[in-house]
Structure 1
Amino acid sequence: METNPPRHSERLVASGLWWGIVALAAVIVAWLLLVATSPAIAATAGLATLVVLGAGLWRWGALRVVAEPGRFRAGDASLDGPHLGRVEALDPTAWRAALDRAGTDRAFLLTRPWIDRGVRVEVADPADPTPYWLVSTRRPATVERVVGHTGPAPDERTSDGQEAREEEG
């Protein structure tokens, strides 16, 4: 018999395509400056562009999503115990529809464009003006199961090839 995973934690790291865009931008800056300046200045500017954009992308993707029974944390924000409502896993189609609707609400959004799925977390605190959260995650079913206590998480494979399998107990 499988058991609920006790905790799920993931970092919203950018995909390889986004890192390629950063590298391409640095090459373009260096190439454009090479026409007007010396190779040393062009190389320095290209390297500086790579470092600045790379650091920005790393920082933007450094946010953690942590799910535990009765607790959910997305970046620096967290919902605990009685304020944590229902958690719903959203596939890519439902995710796009939820993001379209979120523009008209006061929803808390923690999304990343390189992740095409996520969870909708209801806020059960009547004093909180935020009705729900939309949070990107590569494993929405696992987050739903860990926080929502709906049973064992299914086997899932992420875009980076890692598997999330629960051991039999």
Structure 2
Amino acid sequence: MTTGDRLLATERWLLEAAEDRHQAVTAWAGGGLALLRCGGAFAAVRIPAAHIQDAAISREPQEIDRYLAKRLEDGPVICDRAAGWYYALVPASAARRWTASGSTCLGVGASLGVPRPGTTAASDTRIYWSVPMDTPGMLCHPAAVTGTVTAGIRGVSR
């Protein structure tokens, strides 16, 4: 499967969470964000950027991206540079039992602005894929996300 095929398959998978699929496709075509519902195909763990930076022992986006890819075993993560948040996508079931302090798990009833797959830090956009979703349905393991949050709070790395 080519990179283009994987991106298209990932887009289609993510769009299943769109309340208005046409509006989401239009937003992505214009370089914007698709508003996707959490709690069905995935949940999103919102983590303060400061915790991620402390865990990675870096403020450099590329170093943080590499750290997260390794720590979360290439599980998808979205970064909102302006708001100072990272969002790790996890299975929806994680939202019901999320307890990691210093983070919030967005589940049923929450929505998330998601950039088009393939949007990276190099694009200079406000919100990008810190760790791209490379395969439809590939999500972060909740225990790895909890460990990353805890490492950031404690100032412990890798």
- TM-score, normalising length: structure 2: 0.27
Q: Which has the higher contact order (CA 8 A, sep 6+)?
A: 2
Please report the TM-score for the alignment, with normalisation by the length of structure 1.
Answer: 0.25
Q: Which protein is bigger by CA-based radius of gyration?
A: 1
